Each structure stands twice: as C-alpha cells, then as structure tokens.
Amino acid sequence: MPRKKSAPAPTSLKGWKAIAGYLGLTPATAQRWAEDGMPVKREGRFTVADPAELQAWLGRESHMAKPAHVMTKDADISAALKESLAATKREKKNSESGSR
C-alpha cells in the first residue's frame, strides 16, 4: 500500500479553534492550558501559537526526552513511534551508564 505524503506542518496556528484542533482539544481546554503556561501569544485580536513551541512544551510537561509529537490525520504513526522508542532507549542507556 503506498504511503500518504504528509502535509507540511503549519508554521503558525491562529485562533483558539486552530490551536485546539491541532492539539485535539476543545478551545476551552486549550485556553485553560494557556493559563497553566502553554506558549501562546497575542497578535492583535487573535491568539497564535507556534506548533514547534507547543510540541516542546508538551514534551517538558510530560517529562519526555524530546518534544512531544502531535499526531495529526496525516502523520506517520509508525515513524513517530520508532523515534519515541529510540529516544527512550537512549535516555535509559545514558542513565544506566551514568549510575555506574
């Protein structure tokens, strides 16, 4: 089966609906997360967010070794899983070698 070409990641998310949709949340939840430190900015009357900053923030909040990978309908799930497993293995190897 041929692989789908993934759509390029958006460079900026404009408005609560776009931010929430990217994260798979409701706008109310996205606004609550922003109150808790999720990186968003005001541009005029709109709230905007950078997807890379959101991924980095999610990774820090989840105590991950790397930024979180936000899964969209066009994302390559198997590649994201392989990347996550490799990062976890590297982190485990580094922690084991540091404790010796």
- Cα separation, 18 vs 50, in Å, equals 11
Residue 92 lies in a domain: no
Report helix angle 16-23 to 51-61, nearest 10. Answer: 50
- Dihedral, CA of residue 30, residue 35, residue 41 and residue 44, to nearest 10: 90
Q: Which domain holds residue 64?
A: 13-73
Each residue's pLDDT tens digit, 47-93 = 999 999 998 898 888 877 777 767 666 666 677 667 767 777 777 77
88 within domain boundaries: no
Can you give the pTM of this predicted structure? Answer: 0.64
> Under 8 Å CB-to-CB from 88, ≥6 apart: which residues?
65
Residue at 84 is within a domain:
no
What pLDDT is stored for residue 13 in this prediction? 95
Q: Is residue 57 part of a domain?
A: yes
Q: How do residues 33-44 score in pLDDT, each as one tens digit?
A: 999 999 999 999
Based on the structure, what is the number of domains in the chain? 1
Quote the pLDDT of residue 63: 78
Collapsing DSSP to helix, strand or coil, 48 comes out as strand
Decide which of 10 and 13 is more confident.
13
